[in-house]
Amino acid sequence: MQTSRIIFHIDINAFYAACELINDPSLKGKPIVVAHNDVLRKSIILSPSYEARAYGIKTTMLVRDAYNLCDKIIVVEPKMDLYQKHSALFFAFLEKITTQIEAGSIDEAFLDVTLVAKKTDPIRLAQFIQSTLYNKYRLPTSIGIAPNKFLAKMASNMKKPLGITVLRKREIDKLLWPLEINKMYGVGKKTNIKLRKIGINTIGDLANFQDKILLEKIIGPTFSKTLTDWANGIADDFVDPTKYDEISSISNSHTFDHDQIDVIFIKKSLKSLVYTVANRLIKKDLKAKTIGITIKYSDFHTISRSQSLNNPINEALEINEIVMELFEENYEENSLVRLVGVFVNRLSDASKTEDYKQLSIFDNLSVAEKENEIKNILNNVQTRFGDDIIQKGYYGYKKEKEKK
């Protein structure tokens, strides 16, 4: 009897660049980068081809910096309609394999093929998917096969382009633990620095780190538990085809009157959105296991980044901690921001969820009690008189300033 799930993570290699090659085959074999070709070359690279990556050119690098590495690069203007067209073909094909599909983004997906694998060998199935996508749709992919989404995601990154990797829990000490900690999904630039400061340089170091209290102090109790579990191959996540349905998520966003570059101002707006989302969660008696942010830049380039947790939360302070971490690790410095958003999904009934949060010896108990008391008062007032009765952060200040 099969007891574990079989999860595929399918990632289209250099997706935007791959679409441009389909659109213009004459670009094949050349170092192309997808980016706005402005005069000052200050645009951000959305996707370099593998020929460009051979020179050290990476996603989010400035075009001018890429020219310093290779003066022969070809800058191609992004075509979102083209990318959406090929993304639709990608997902339509996957739906012929199984209905258990969760979109990771426009160019990646998780598939639960547990039932399908009862009729066919998983590796042969992966080979069929990869070869069909490449030969019929000209989309190169890498596929990770594992018992949970985290390991599948890590596996798909191990062989690019056109790789297929199986990662079993019993193999994590050999295949996963030797990897540098910054290679771990969920560990961004800021977290990488924090972990290395306490001697965690590899995923194995994290998996076997003994000082749990210190780790919680450094990156927070929620995040530390999730990352430690993942490093040990533990994840209770599941493929959710409805993950981005409106009914299964809560979100809020704000478009600035003028494009913003002030990081403090942007963070204040995110914090205000966090409190609105947290209040809606509490009013609906829900908790969320995925916290995410959206950033739209002045050139309309948009990114969405999220952090999944093993334990659901709905506290504004905990959500804000994750949102700030996501922003700091993904914000493209010195870039003008047009819109920011906060979203939560993988929702569950809060009344049926055990409250797992524990205060460490570093927490101030009286402060925590006061924060909780204030939170309850705010929630009661908003429930009774409406969400807009209390304005938090810069929104209230802004409205008052406009009146004056």
* Residue-level pLDDT at 291: 93
Residue 395 pLDDT greater than 60, yes or no: no
Asked if 101 and 7 sit in the same domain, the reply is yes
Q: Are residues 392 and 264 in the same domain?
A: yes
Residue type, 207: A
Q: pLDDT per residue over 102-158, tens digit each?
A: 988 889 999 999 999 999 999 999 999 999 999 999 999 999 999 999 999 999 999
Provide the pLDDT for residue 46.
87
Segment 298-323 mean pLDDT: 87
pLDDT the model gives residue 241? 86
For residue 127, what are the CA distances in angstroms to 12, 115, 165, 166?
14, 17, 11, 12
Q: Is 270 helix (H, G, I), strand (E, B) or coil?
A: helix
- Same domain? For 7 and 98 the reply is yes
Q: Which residues pair with 302 in a beta bridge?
A: 296
- pLDDT beyond 60 at 185: yes
Q: Are residues 252 and 122 in the same domain?
A: no
pLDDT for res 385: 53
The contacts of residue 233 (CB under 8 Å, 6+ apart) are: 148, 150, 151, 169, 172, 176
Reduced to 3 states, what is the DSSP secondary structure of residue 294?
A: strand
Instruction: Tell whether 344 and 256 lie within a shared domain.
Output: yes
Any domain includes 13: yes
Q: In terms of domains, do 119 and 259 share one?
A: no
Bridge-based pairing of strands 74-76 and 32-34 is parallel
Average pLDDT over residues 317-346: 90
* pLDDT attached to residue 63: 92
Q: Is the pLDDT of residue 394 over 50?
A: no
Q: Which domain holds residue 197?
A: 173-231
**Greater model confidence, 335 or 395:** 335
Residues 160, 178, single domain; the answer is no
Note the pLDDT of residue 398. 46
Residue type, 55: Y
Which is higher by pLDDT, 396 or 43? 43
What pTM was estimated for this model as a whole? 0.69
Residue 110: strand, helix, or coil: strand
Q: What is the pLDDT of residue 310?
A: 79
Closest CA to 142 of 151, 150, 152, 58: 152
What is the pLDDT at residue 384? 53
Q: How far is 34 from 44, CA to CA, in rounded Å?
A: 9
What is the C-alpha separation between 354 and 290, in angstroms, rounded?
17
Out of 146, 167, 188, pick the residue that ends a domain: 167
On the 0-12 / 13-18 / 19+ scale of CB atoms within 10 A, 35 is: buried
Q: SS in 3 state form for 117-183?
A: HHCCCHHHHHHHHHHHHHHCCCCCEEEEEECCHHHHHHHHCCCCCCCEEECCHHHHHHHCCCCEHHH
> Got the DSSP string for 18-44?
HHHHHH-GGGTTS-EEES---TT--PB
CATH assignment at residue 135: 3.30.70.270
Q: What is the pLDDT of residues 26-71, one digit of tens each?
A: 999 999 999 888 777 878 898 999 999 999 999 888 899 999 999 9
Q: What is the mean pLDDT of residues 5-26?
A: 96
Q: Is the pLDDT of residue 247 over 80?
A: no
pLDDT at residue 320 is higher than 50: yes
Q: Are 86 and 193 contained in the same domain?
A: no
pLDDT > 90 fraction of the chain, expressed in percent and rounded: 59
**Do 14 and 138 fall into the same domain?**
yes
* pLDDT at site 105: 84
pLDDT at 357: 43
Low-confidence winner among 228-237, 349-358, 369-378 (lowest mean pLDDT): 369-378
Domain annotation covers residue 236: no
Q: Is residue 100 part of a domain?
A: yes
User: For residue 221, what pLDDT is reported?
Assistant: 84
Give the residue with greater pLDDT, 375 vs 218.
218
More confident residue, 392 or 344: 344
Residue 164: per-residue pLDDT: 97
> Given this model, what pLDDT does residue 355 score?
47
Per the model's pLDDT, the better-predicted residue between 374 and 331 turns out to be: 331
Answer whether 370's CB lies under 8 Å from 283's CB: no
| DSSP symbols for 41-80 | --PBPSEE-HHHHTTT--TT-BHHHHHHH-TT-EEE---H
Of 219-223, 314-318, 393-397, the least confident: 393-397
| CATH code for the domain of 278 | 3.30.1490.100
Say which CATH number the domain at 197 has: 1.10.150.20
Return the pLDDT at 403: 47
Partners of 164 in beta bridges: 143
User: Who contacts 129 (Cβ-Cβ below 8 Å, separation ≥6)?
Assistant: 8, 10, 93, 94, 97, 141, 143
Q: Percent of the chain scored above 70 by pLDDT? A: 85
Shared domain check, 135 and 260: no
For residues 151-173, average pLDDT: 95
What's the domain count of the chain? 3
Residues linked to residue 241 through DSSP beta bridges, in sequence order: none
Amino acid at 274: V
**Catalytic (active-site) positions:** 108
3-state secondary structure (DSSP) of residue 365 = helix
Backbone torsions φ then ψ of 130, nearest 5 degrees:
-65, -45
Residue 358 clears pLDDT 50, i.e. is over it: no
